[in-house]
Amino acid sequence: METLYLAIVLAPLLGAIVAGLFGRQVGRVGAHSVTTAGVALSFVLSLVVFWYHAMAGGAIHNETVYTWLVSDGIRFEIGFLVDNLTAMMMLVVTFVSLMVHVYTIGYMRDDPGYQRFFALISLFTFSMLMLVMANNFLQLFFGWEAVGLVSYLLIGFWFKRPSAIYANMKAFIVNRVGDFAFVLGIGAVVFHTASLDYMEVFAQADTMADATISILPGSEWSLLTVACILLFIGAMAKSAQVPLHVWLPDSMEGPTPISALIHAATMVTAGIFMVARVSPLYEYSVVALSFILIIGAITAFFMGLIGLVQNDIKRVVAYSTLSQLGYMTVALGASAYAAGIFHLTTHAFFKALLFLAAGSVIMALHHEQDMRRMGGLRKYMPITYVTALIGSLALIGFPGFSGFFSKDGIIEAVHMSSIPGASLAYVLILAGVFVTALYTFRMFFMVFHGEERFRQASGMDHGHGGHEDDHGHGHGHGGTPQESPWVVTVPLILLAIPSVLAGYFVGPLLFGDFFAEALYVDESRDVLAMLGEGYHGVLGHMVHGVMMPPFWLAMAGLGTAWFVYMKRPDLAQRARDTLPWAYNILDRKYGFDEFNDAVFAGGARRLGEWLWRFGDTLLIDTVIVNGSARAVGWVSGRLRLGQTGYLYHYAFAMIIGLLVLILAFAL
């Protein structure tokens, strides 16, 4: 099996190397062929692994591939831990990545960086696979940093555009903040356990819970709580939780395929997976769980509200991702790890579907992204329309679609949780259901229904529209929109299938023993087990769901969106005029960007300017460099006066020196 696991990881890496280093030699067809084939091979082998572990009951694989070094008894190794959790993540990552690879063939066909883009998305897949298959914190950290690096390169793929450079630098810096805490968390774990291996660390979780650490004089903190919170701060940046969420909306500066890959299956899911993987540690710290629960609930509700005022189609979907990541985080905080991973899985399918459908619309409108310049596309793009509808219904949790099963599981789990903060979290995520339905179908109706605004003469403020014109496409619509080519529509159709069907595995995934050996939950907090006592099959689950508040809130949000944006579009403008302060707060994204620019970025620039003026110009240039030169010149100038070149002057100096020595010894 080890050879099989190596093939899954190395196939995308090989494709990335060929396309990246030999792109000119193999050409465009060669680049997309070798990378797509590599990811396709990984997907097929991941299917085999999933069948072996999930269906055939195969034993957990936990082996070291090789040892890098041993230092003071701590082993730095590369190895694989493959259980049901890993097998599911491998399947999700490779499937979504394969769909993105195929989609990219059509979407990026005119881009001059075609080979480079395929090399990077294939490298992205390799990095994420290394992360999810790791059996130790060293390899986890390698994959963690690798996905961060590749995301930096992909967000700034169009590097000639200042906004793209700003966005990728923002993502890089924010993630470095989280990664600093993440490294400290790993260091705290190694400090106590003297090991990087998951199983060895988990075996010492109870002793870590009893250990304390003095951070401030006179105060003792639980070592395990500190380590868990530090690890989660790393996850806050990677999985875009408040306040380290600010990079994710700006990642829309990258091409749409990478938006789908980042938001659906790779980078942002890394933090969710990490917390679930180290659940044996988190279960010993209620403080850490409560912290996670509250942060996730705040993100889920308040980031969803921002989606209501966005006009860029990709940014609406981006803020939806932020909100849904909040739901996953809430599940982790409620000890419902399986519910968080289940929602991660279903979300990967329907969110990738929505991003790629948005990209299909953008292509049809010659890379226009402003929803105010869309409308009436249903009859021109039937495949995109139907698949986008499926993705939208899955996102809002409509009965029968995957999101219904996964999101309802989270909400009910939080409702039953006794973790401090669970009551507040329940209210926020319940209200978030209405918000999700409202912004989702606001987008859907504005894009596919109503009047055909794309035919109107330009002159409207584009907002964030029209960003993706760097590969030969102008803003002018130049004719009737047409359905996208098959390389775009086939991935949409294939993603629409699990967006509907994935939820029907709710029984074994949430209430069964699918994750029994991969996730650890304290029996006193096992809310999913409590929910499972009332589970009576998929049909019974659906019947129960339509009688619960989340369903009616979702329908209220859908109905409100239909009435406001289809029947009375003037109401949206009236609401904006009536509550300008509320609109302004949401439009400014609660001021996070302004605060960061003024305090952190601006403060860093001011500090750098001060250091330049005082340290570099005054201290180094004036005092040290130029000052030392002037001092040497002054001293040498004085010493030079004694160098006359006359022999009797030197003899006289020697006599004076000799007399001084004699007097010194005589006295």
Q: Is 222 inside a domain boundary?
A: yes
659 in the same domain as 552: no
Q: Quick one: pLDDT at residue 464?
A: 42
In this structure, which amino acid lies at residue 566?
M
312 in the same domain as 248: yes
> Could you read off the pLDDT of 49-98 as tens digits, one per residue?
999 988 888 889 999 998 999 988 899 999 999 999 999 999 999 999 99
Question: Does the pLDDT value for residue 471 go beyond 60?
Answer: no
pLDDT band per the 50, 70, 90 thresholds, residue 618: confident
In this structure, which amino acid lies at residue 494?
L
Q: Which residue has the higher pLDDT, 577 or 330?
A: 330
In this structure, the number of other CB atoms found within 10 A of the CB of residue 570 comes to: 9
> CB-based burial of residue 130 (10 Å sphere; 0-12 exposed, 13-18 middle, 19+ buried)?
buried
φ/ψ of 69, rounded to 5, equals -160, 165
Average pLDDT over residues 655-664: 86
Q: Average pLDDT of the chain?
A: 88
The pTM assigned to this predicted structure is 0.88
Q: Return the SS3 of 197.
A: strand
Q: Which of 506, 538, 567 is the last residue of a domain?
A: 567
Q: Is 573 inside a domain boundary?
A: no
Q: Is 217 inside a domain boundary?
A: yes
Residue 396's closest CA among 338, 450, 351? 351
292 in the same domain as 188: yes
Buried b / exposed e along 288-297 (16+ C-beta atoms within 10 A): bbbbbbbbbb
Question: Does the pLDDT value for residue 473 go beyond 50?
Answer: no
Q: Tokens 């991941």 — which residue?
A: 46
Q: How many separate domains does the chain show?
A: 2
Measured in whole angstroms, the distance separating CA 345 from the mean position of its chain's CA atoms is 15
Q: Is 555 inside a domain boundary?
A: yes
413 in the same domain as 327: yes
φ/ψ of 474, rounded to 5, equals -90, 180
Beta-carbon contacts of residue 472 (< 8 Å; ≥ 6 apart): 110, 111
Q: Is 180 inside a domain boundary?
A: yes
> Could you read off the pLDDT of 211-243 as tens digits, one per residue?
888 877 777 888 999 999 999 999 999 998 999
Residue 368 is encoded by which pair of tokens?
């226009």
658 in the same domain as 530: no
556 in the same domain as 626: no
Query: Cα angle vertex 219, ends 216, 225, to 5°?
Result: 90
Q: Quick one: pLDDT at residue 37?
A: 95
Range of the domain at 183: 1-459+481-567
538 in the same domain as 626: no
Q: Tokens 């650890």 — which residue?
A: 520
629 in the same domain as 540: no
636 in the same domain as 496: no
544 in the same domain as 429: yes
Alpha helices in 70-222 (DSSP H): 84-107, 114-133, 137-155, 162-193, 198-203, 205-210
CA distances to 13, 287, 426, 433, 556 from 410, rounded to whole Å, are 36, 20, 9, 12, 20
Q: Which of 501, 536, 567 is the last residue of a domain?
A: 567
Q: Tokens 């050996």 — which residue?
A: 517
In this structure, which amino acid lies at residue 301?
F
CB 231 within 8 A of CB 288: no
pLDDT band per the 50, 70, 90 thresholds, residue 402: very high
Q: Quick one: pLDDT at residue 221?
A: 87
> CB-based burial of residue 28 (10 Å sphere; 0-12 exposed, 13-18 middle, 19+ buried)?
middle
252 in the same domain as 331: yes
Say what percent of the chain tops pLDDT 90.
58
644 in the same domain as 558: no
- Find the helix packing angle between 114-133 and 267-277, rounded to 10°: 10
Residue 666 is encoded by which pair of tokens?
């005589």
> Could you read off the pLDDT of 549-595 as tens digits, one per residue?
999 999 999 999 999 998 888 888 888 888 888 989 998 989 888 88
